[in-house]
Amino acid sequence: MKQHCNPVALRQYLAGQWETGNGAPIASFAAAHPGQTVANGTAADAGQVDQAFAAAAAARGDWARTPMATRAGYLKRAASWLHERSGDIGAELSREEGKTLAEGIGEVSRAAQILDYYAGESERQAGTVFHSPRPGEQILVSHKPLGVLGIITPFNFPIAIPAWKIAPALIYGNTVVFKPASLVPLLAQRLVEAFDAAELPAGVLNLVIGPGRLGDALMRHPQLAGVSFTGSTAVGRSLCATAANRGIPVQAEMGGKNAAVVLADADLELAVEQVLNGAFRSTGQKCTATSRLILDQSIAEDFLARLRDRLDRWVTGDPLDPRVHMGPLVDEKSRILVDKGIQAALAAGATETYRGKAPEGPGYMGPVILELPASHKPEDNPAWREEFFAPVLTVVRVAGTDAAFASAEDSEFGLSLALFTRDLATAIRAQEQLDVGILHVNSESAGADPHVPFGGAKASGYGPNEQGAAAREFYTHTTTTYLRG
Ligand code: UN1
């Protein structure tokens, strides 16, 4: 089993060459067995960030002039490479990040699917033609690449998120300097290997692996023409400020505190299943995870009894074991932080009404349900306000749909929301009234399809959405051409 294999060598990818990093030693460890090294090597240094930009800048012109269908060919070949290896690479993902094997393999396939989707851009509409009010003239709007883009990605989807940023960046003719989360560098390297195997021209995609300060060097680089980021709200906001100061476009996908709203008329069996998956799959480490549960008081007891019953059969353990539903958090440091958050929530008046079993060992925690008393204002409790990024679900009970919607809106975040009802009129009202980027009616709050926009309202996102046709808004600028013969 891959479990005990030798560590993979981590390398930087600069101007089409795999290079040793000039910085300090780095390593990633198995989330479930932190004593086991998954990959190791040396970090890139600031000089190598410069090399990455120099390569990306040199490649930019030729790449932008390459027909989109040819650019699509590289994406398709990289996608096939990943598809063929989704089992092995999915197991590496599961081992390094800690999500289950099924989720790891699923994520690698999803990354490949995303590359295929963007390859299809070469066969879709390229721009728009407008009527002109003047005779003998047409007005054309065409899309142009921005130049060298910085891509900064989080640990929790170590290959899918890089794919959904790098694929549109490349298909629209940009070149890229990619800085992945230092906790999960191997999966980033695998994605770049896919492009290397596809014989992507040198310099079009460059990888710098290392600590967060490489991200600072990237943000300061004079060649940087735009940046796409997914990660914490704190880092995202500072990065947006830097980008605004420099006058370059930024796309930041940040925190969530997503609610599931279960109304009195909901199909409870379905709602329990979906809330279970939304809150606890991937150990709750998704920006789209359900972390607030708003229950109509008439069904609250019944719903919670069914949820606890399901959780009693929920297995937390080694993510590579096929019987396991939930692996550990990405590392022990995260578990300690979550624990502090839970303690603060209890001190502020929450009650812990459920804690599932988990193995002893770093990073492990069972699913937790916290309940807030009706006498409290939920916003006074950190478990309602703050993103824990963990398998922790905070419950309130409300009376009726108006109160449930008001409670759902009671958050600075607005990424996704799951509404459970059988009433079409209520679903339509939610669509009209609730300030979220993604609304699920009778399905879990997590999940994204490559061909539809993904992004959050309020404090959850900044800049144009990701994915689908929305991606073009960020990854290109337009030229409006007044065309007369
Ligand atoms: C999903 O719900 O499948 O970082 C994707 C995140 C989000 C992606 C969620 N940007 O969790």
Task: Please work out whether the CB of residue 181 comes within 6 Å of at least one atom of ligand 1.
Answer: no
Distance from C-alpha of 418 to C-alpha of 261, rounded to nearest angstrom: 6
How far is it, in rounded angstroms, from Cα 121 to Cα 470?
12
CA of 342 to the centre of ligand 1 (A): 23
- The answer to whether residues 16 and 201 touch, using CB atoms and an 8 Å cutoff, is yes
Q: Please write the tens of the pLDDT for every residue from 153-206.
A: 999 999 999 999 999 999 999 999 999 999 999 999 999 999 999 999 999 999
Nearest in space to 382 (alpha carbons), one of 263, 202, 228, 390: 390
Residue 375, pLDDT score: 84
Q: Atom of ligand 1 at shortest distance to CA of 231?
A: 4
Given this model, what pLDDT does residue 154 score?
A: 98
Placement of tokens 């008329």 in the chain: 265
For the chain, give every domain's residue range: 8-254+460-484, 258-449
| Lookup result for tokens 């809106």 | 409
Question: What pLDDT does residue 397 have?
Answer: 97
Q: Which CATH superfamily is domain 8-254+460-484 in?
A: Aldehyde Dehydrogenase; Chain A, domain 1 (3.40.605.10)
Residue from 161, 413, 436, 452 whose mutation best tests the ligand 1 pocket (most atoms within 8 A of CB) = 161
> What is the per-residue pLDDT for 374?
86
Residue 4: per-residue pLDDT: 59
Q: Which residues are catalytic?
A: 253, 287
Q: Write down the pLDDT at residue 376.
A: 83
Nearest residue CA, atom 1 of ligand 1? 447
Query: Which pLDDT does position 5 carry in this prediction?
Result: 76
The pLDDT score that the predictor gives to residue 1 is 44
Q: May I ask the CATH architecture of the domain 258-449?
A: 3-Layer(aba) Sandwich (3.40)
In angstroms, how far apart are the furthest CA atoms of the chain? 77
* Ligand 1 binding pocket mutation candidate from 97, 157, 229 (most atoms within 8 A of CB): 157
Q: Which of 103, 281, 287 to mutate to test the pocket of ligand 1 (most atoms within 8 A of CB)?
A: 287
Q: Is the dihedral of CA 435, 151, 98, 347 positive or negative?
A: negative
Residue 262 token pair:
């279960």
C-alpha atoms less than 13 angstroms from C-alpha of 407 in its C-beta half-sphere? 28
Ligand 1 neighbourhood includes 99 CB (under 6 angstroms): no
Tokens of 21: 């990093």
| pLDDT in 10s for each residue of the chain, 485 residues | 445 579 999 999 999 999 999 999 999 999 999 999 999 999 999 999 999 999 999 999 999 999 999 999 999 999 999 999 999 999 999 999 999 999 999 999 999 999 999 999 999 999 999 999 999 999 999 999 999 999 999 999 999 999 999 999 999 999 999 999 999 999 999 999 999 999 999 999 999 999 999 999 999 999 999 999 999 999 999 999 999 999 999 999 999 999 999 999 999 999 999 999 999 999 999 999 999 999 999 999 999 999 999 999 999 999 999 999 999 999 999 999 999 999 999 999 999 999 999 999 999 999 999 999 988 899 899 999 999 999 999 999 999 999 999 999 999 999 999 999 999 999 999 999 999 999 999 999 999 999 999 999 999 999 999 999 999 999 999 999 999 99
Q: Is 401 in the pocket of ligand 1 (CB under 6 A)?
A: no
| 214 φ/ψ angles, rounded to the nearest 5 degrees | -65, -35
Residue spans of beta strands (DSSP E) within 272-425: 290-296, 351-355, 368-371, 392-398, 413-414, 416-420
* Residue labelled with tokens 């669509």: 431
| CB-based contact 156:286 (threshold 8 Å) | yes
Flag whether the pTM goes above 0.85: yes
By the 8 A CB rule, do 439 and 416 touch? yes
Name the phi and psi angles at 253, rounded to 5: -105, 115
- The DSSP bridge partners found for residue 153 are none
Residue 448 Cβ < 6 Å to ligand 1? yes
Protein residue whose Cα sits closest to atom 10 of ligand 1: 287
Q: Is 157 in the pocket of ligand 1 (CB under 6 A)?
A: yes
Does 356 sit in the ligand 1 pocket, CB within 6 Å?
no
Which token pair is 340? 């502090």
Centroid of ligand 1 to alpha carbon of 161 (angstroms): 8
* Residue 208: predicted pLDDT: 98
Q: Whose CA is nearest to atom 7 of ligand 1?
A: 287
Spatial distance between the Cα atoms of 192 and 13, rounded to a whole number of angstroms: 8
